[in-house]
């Protein structure tokens, strides 16, 4: 509402209108920064993606959608898309299942709840690079006398059938093993979301279910889980956009292994190592479109529901 709007006619003489303008003024630096660094840069990326810029010096010669068409013909990009699809599906399913499982376990009000919760959550504080460096050694695929890492544990437990080549498994399944460290890092977050959801449900509801003769399992299955549906939606959105953008973890683990490539890594390599700026911009724009499909409906939905409150 602006100062001239009749609804805000002040009953007493206060400089409310001036303060309102000042308030908007306070926002201006942030709004300008976002306008430039987010929307302006996205626009400029789109422009670059429509150019033939290859090499150190900018070349904005307009080539239409050629960079995109080339990408759709590109074998490396096809591998990237496949890897992202496998990674995203497995990552989401594993995080949601493990997160829900841990949340339900911790919801039983056992002793040491805080202790276990902190253990499940701490990987979140760590950088993906650290996670990658450590898990690369844990998932060491050396065999015979040089066996080490988790394979070594399997061997000494006589569980030889579990010994794996991990992320060096033949494509397309190598990427599936990078889901393990990703889940190690992010499942605690999913657990915390679900636990928050469970704790927000009133005890009366559980009590009512018990009075009606529902078993503990039935209570979860038919009463509590359906209430948690919005939590699942939030989790899918957050984990999904992390997965579509996954970058550092892949860089740290794969160390340039093409079979484990994803769009985020391809964009970085082709732009800054290969100087294929036009192609890099096109990959960036395609990533943005994929994430936007997931995020925009969610943001609009959040805005609508918040206005109702």
Partner 1 sequence: MTPTPSRRITRLVMYCLLFFMAIFYLLPVYVLLVTGLKSFAEVDLQRMWALPTGIYFDNFLAAYQKLAPNLWNSLRMVVPAALISSVVGSVNGYVFSKWKFRFSEIIFTLLLFGMFIPYQSILIPLVQFMEWIGLRGSITGLVMVHVVYGIAITTLIFRNYYAGVPTEVLEAGRMDGAGLFGLYRYIVFPLSIPAFVVVLIWQFTQAYNDFLFAVVLTNNRTWPVTVALNNLAGSQIVQWNVQMAGALITALPTLLVYIFLGRFFLRGLMAGALKG
Sole window of 66-74, 77-85, 113-121, 159-167 interacting with partner 1 (rule: CB under 8 A): 113-121
125 contributes a contact to partner 1 by CB under 8 A: yes
From the list 71, 166, 167, 280, which residue makes contact with partner 1 (rule: CB under 8 A)?
280
- Judged by CB under 8 A, the chain residues 7 through 66 that form the site for partner 1 are 14-16, 19-20, 22-24, 26-27, 29-31, 33-34, 37-42, 44-45, 48, 58
232 contributes a contact to partner 1 by CB under 8 A: no
174 contributes a contact to partner 1 by CB under 8 A: no
Sole window of 68-76, 77-85, 114-122, 171-179 interacting with partner 1 (rule: CB under 8 A): 114-122
Nearest residue (CB) to partner 1, 91 versus 120: 120
DSSP one-letter code for 261: -
How many residues of this chain bind partner 1 (CB under 8 A)?
107
Nearest residue (CB) to partner 1, 9 versus 124: 124
Nearest residue (CB) to partner 1, 118 versus 218: 118
Q: How far is the CB of 172 from partner 1 (least distance, A)?
A: 22
99 contributes a contact to partner 1 by CB under 8 A: no
């Amino acid at each position: 509402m602006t100062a001239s709007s009749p609804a805000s006619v002040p009953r007493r003489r206060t400089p409310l209108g001036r303060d309102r303008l000042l308030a908007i003024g306070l926002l201006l630096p942030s709004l300008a920064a976002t306008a430039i660094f987010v929307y302006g840069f996205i626009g400029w990326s789109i422009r670059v993606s429509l150019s033939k810029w290859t090499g150190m010096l900018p070349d904005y010669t307009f080539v239409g959608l050629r960079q995109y068409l080339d990408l759709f013909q590109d074998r490396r990009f096809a591998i990237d898309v496949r890897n992202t699809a496998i990674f995203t599906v497995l990552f989401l399913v594993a995080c949601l299942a493990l997160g829900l499982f841990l949340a339900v376990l911790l919801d039983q009000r056992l002793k040491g709840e805080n202790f276990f919760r902190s253990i499940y959550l701490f990987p979140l504080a760590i950088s993906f690079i650290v996670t990658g460096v450590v898990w690369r050694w844990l998932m060491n695929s050396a065999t015979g006398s040089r066996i080490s890492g988790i394979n070594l544990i399997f061997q000494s437990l006589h569980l030889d059938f579990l010994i794996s080549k991990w992320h060096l498994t033949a494509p397309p399944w190598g990427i599936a093993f990078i889901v393990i460290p990703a889940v190690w890092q992010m499942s605690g977050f999913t657990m915390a979301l679900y636990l928050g959801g469970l704790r927000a449900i009133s005890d009366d509801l559980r009590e009512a279910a018990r009075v009606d003769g529902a078993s503990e399992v039935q209570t979860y299955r038919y009463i509590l889980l359906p209430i948690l549906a919005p939590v699942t939606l939030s989790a899918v959105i957050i984990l999904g956009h992390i997965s579509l953008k996954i970058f550092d973890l892949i860089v740290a683990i794969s160390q340039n292994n093409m079979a484990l490539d994803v769009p985020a890594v391809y964009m970085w390599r082709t732009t800054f190592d290969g100087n294929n700026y036009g192609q890099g911009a096109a990959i960036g724009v395609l990533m943005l479109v994929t994430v936007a499909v997931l995020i925009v409906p969610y943001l609009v939905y959040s805005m609508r529901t918040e206005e109702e409150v």
